[in-house]
Amino acid sequence: MSIQISYRFVIKKEKNKQGLYPIYLRAFLKGKKIETATPVTIPLRDWSLRNQRVKSQNNYHERYNMILDAIDKKSIKLLVNNFLNEEYPLSLVQFKDRLLALNHYSVEQSFTDYILGYLEENKTKFKTETWFGYKSQISKMLKFKKEILFSDINERFINDYRQYMLNTLSNNENTASKSLRVLRTFVNISMRFGYIKTNPFQYISIKKVDGKRDFLSIEELNKLTDYYSKDNFAKLIEKDILGYFLFACYTGLRYSDLKTFSTDLIVDNSIRLRMHKTGCLVNIPLSKKAKMFLPNITFEGSSVFRVYCNKVTNKELKKIGADLGLKKKLTCHVARHTFATASISLGIPIEVVSKLLGHTSIRTTQVYAKIVDTVKIKEMQKWDN
């Protein structure tokens, strides 16, 4: 058996959010290759293609080259040990997995740089929204601390970060908890590959409280529907946005589903689609009210609605709500909450509502039952009868 894997350091030609270019270890075997991210990111001009190292003109060249030297040495050691002690040569995947499992940086390494590299390398494995959400969470962490090393990730860091989100950023408890759950995901990735040895979340509980869910009453929904029917809009964009917002109020579709909603998903007066967020298949019969908001024309191929970006949508909805004197802040997700609460108020069984919403657990739907006071009053009046 001979050592068949060769490798070299390369600079990727796609810059990150900071305008820097990541350095990867590229390994080769029988015409195939695999890449492993390093924490080194530099300006393109600072890379020496010949030496496979960072040029001395970079202020951090000594630190970066120490990291690359350490990876180089561990790679050689890994291949030699396999050659001397094992019966079969390593595959590219085995080589990468073993290299990642080693704590192969002899100097302090950036936790956030590693996670950013991991996200870039595994981009195709994530949904687009998830991937961008993770990148956004990294940016949020870097506002708390400009450089976060693996050695920084401990119980105190987590608690300090939580307080920063609650007190400095004025995040509510659920928003802060969501960020901590993402951080825990990053920690688990780091533990899986041996960069973090002990779990800093071991004695930390992440709270989830019942948040305030804005929804329209049936009277408010009717008011918006009447306003739409009068077709007295100053701008076409207002009609477009209110149209798909109200359609969501009568069907329970999420904003992400509206964006990909096409004519072929309407079959026998029902919507049949696989929900973008959960992947659940749903069948939502179209009511007469819902059909009112289906445009006569399609957009961009077979799209049913001309859906604007989330920011523009919410801005226009907020303006419409203010013009009509609604005290509630209208957003895309208010439509889904409205469908759920209105359905329960109308007496539709919660099991049916759960199926229409595409919930995987009825407990998720029961949150809406808790906040519909009219249903509670109606049910308690049975005692009077």
Distance CA 289, CA 282 (A): 19
Fold match between domain 121-192 and domain 218-383: no
Domain boundaries 218-383, corresponding CATH code: 1.10.443.10
Task: Please name the amino acid found at residue 234.
Answer: A
Low-confidence ranges of the chain (pLDDT < 50): 103-107
- Beta 32-42 vs 21-29: how paired, if at all? antiparallel
Give the pLDDT confidence of 266-288 residue by residue, as tens digits: 888 888 988 877 778 888 899 99
Dihedral sign (CA 177, 18, 67, 123): positive
Could you tell me how many residues make up the chain? 385
What is the pTM (predicted TM-score) of this model? 0.57
The structural domains of the chain, with segments of one domain joined by +, span: 6-107, 121-192, 218-383
Task: Please name the amino acid found at residue 356.
Answer: L
Q: Which single residue is written with the structure tokens 């080769």?
A: 28
The residues near 213 (Cβ < 8 Å, ≥ 6 apart) are 337, 367, 368, 371
Give the pLDDT confidence of 284-340 residue by residue, as tens digits: 899 999 999 888 776 666 888 889 988 899 999 999 888 888 888 888 888 888 888
- pLDDT for position 106: 42
Nearest to 155 by CA among 111, 206, 203, 189: 203
Distance CA 282, CA 362 (A): 15
| CATH class entry, domain 121-192 | mainly alpha
Nearest to 120 by CA among 208, 202, 14: 14
- pLDDT for position 60: 87
